[in-house]
Amino acid sequence: MSALRAKPLAIFLGIALLLPIGAHAAGLPAFTSTPAAGGGTQYSLNLQTLLFMTVLTFLPAMILMMSAFTRIVIVLSLLKQALGTTTVPPSQVIVGLSLFLTFFVMSPVLDKVNDVAVKPLMSDQINLTQALEAGAGPLKTFMMHQTRKDDLALFVRISGHKALATPQDVPLSLLVPAFVTSELKTAFQIGFIIFIPFLIIDMVVATVLMSMGMMMLSPVTVSFPIKLMLFVLVNGWDLIIGSLVQSFVR
């Protein structure tokens, strides 16, 4: 993944954290802030550096909670359990594949963030606050498309937030937990579908072994190579990865 796409990810996945931090830090004597045109505020370079370093600290959590990573890594982990493997593929491979698939899925969003926020910020067309607000738009659009209405309504009701007129009015403090909840539901639904054919194989093998009187032979010992063979024959990796990526297309 190019550095151009990684940079907007590092900057704009922390929108919810940057603005409150900037509001508190602007009052410190070591930092300066000056009014900008249109009622905005222009922060000093030192404060911008502080905010950027703060985002890097929370970057792993942001990738987990505000991107496609959660759904992908859960589905691949459930696939590993359905196959009956304990160490193959290793957990590092699962996480690494999930991370690169996340960058693949999120690349259109990162391109939009780069066009509307990073490039104007680097060319001094907008200030940091305006860039953060502009960069939050594509990210919120992606999360809204993957969030169930009932999950979002749950957090709106719990928080006591006023009724939301449009999707653009949803704050990240409500959208992020609703998005994660929806991703967990979707991942478990996909995992259930993946488990069904492997469960059938286990049941058939156990029934055949019992009917043959082979009580001492573990069904897993026989069903495991059968599941591996069938998974390879149907080109299982392409089916799983292709379905995962297409599940984010709206």
Neighbours of 167 (CB within 10 A): 14
Residue 138 three-state SS:
helix
Q: Give 39's DSSP letter.
A: G
Return the higher-pLDDT residue of 242 and 33: 242
Please name the residue that has the structure tokens 């959590």. Answer: 61
Q: State how far the Cα of 82 lies from the Cα of 23, in Å rounded to an integer.
A: 48
33-36 long-range CB contacts below 8 Å, 24 or more apart?
A: 36/127
**Residues β-bridged to residue 33:** 43
Contact predicate 159/132, CB 8 Å: no
Neighbouring residues of 146: CB distance < 8 A, sequence distance ≥ 6: 179, 182, 183, 186, 248, 250
**pLDDT, position 4:** 45
Return the higher-pLDDT residue of 205 and 15: 205
**pTM for this model (two decimals):** 0.72
Which two three-digit tokens encode residue 214? 């082979």
- Three-state secondary structure string covering 2-24: CHHHHHHHHHHCCHHHHHHHHHH
**Residue 27 pLDDT greater than 50, yes or no:** no
Q: State how far the Cα of 64 lies from the Cα of 82, in Å rounded to an integer.
A: 23
**Residue 194 pLDDT greater than 60, yes or no:** yes
**Residues β-bridged to residue 121:** none
pLDDT tens-digit series, residues 128-180 = 777 777 877 888 888 888 888 888 888 888 887 777 766 677 787 888 889 99
**Residue 215 pLDDT greater than 70, yes or no:** yes
**pLDDT, position 37:** 59
**pLDDT, position 18:** 42
Instruction: State the average pLDDT for the chain.
Output: 77
Average pLDDT rounded to a whole number, residues 34-56: 64
**pLDDT, position 22:** 41
**pLDDT, position 189:** 92
**pLDDT, position 190:** 92
**pLDDT, position 156:** 83
Banded model confidence at residue 41, pLDDT cuts 50, 70, 90: low
Per-position DSSP letters for 164-195, written without gaps between them: PSSGGG--HHHHHHHHHHHHHHHHHHHHHHHH
The structural domains of the chain, with segments of one domain joined by +, span: 60-246
Banded model confidence at residue 218, pLDDT cuts 50, 70, 90: confident
**pLDDT, position 3:** 43
Contact predicate 111/5, CB 8 Å: yes
Helices (H) and strands (E) in the chain, counts: 11, 2
**pLDDT, position 184:** 92
Cα–Cα nearest to 172, from 4, 11, 12: 12
Residue 169 burial (C-beta neighbours within 10 Å; 0-12, 13-18, 19+):
exposed
pLDDT tens-digit series, residues 46-100 = 666 776 677 677 777 776 788 889 899 999 999 988 888 777 888 899 999 998 9
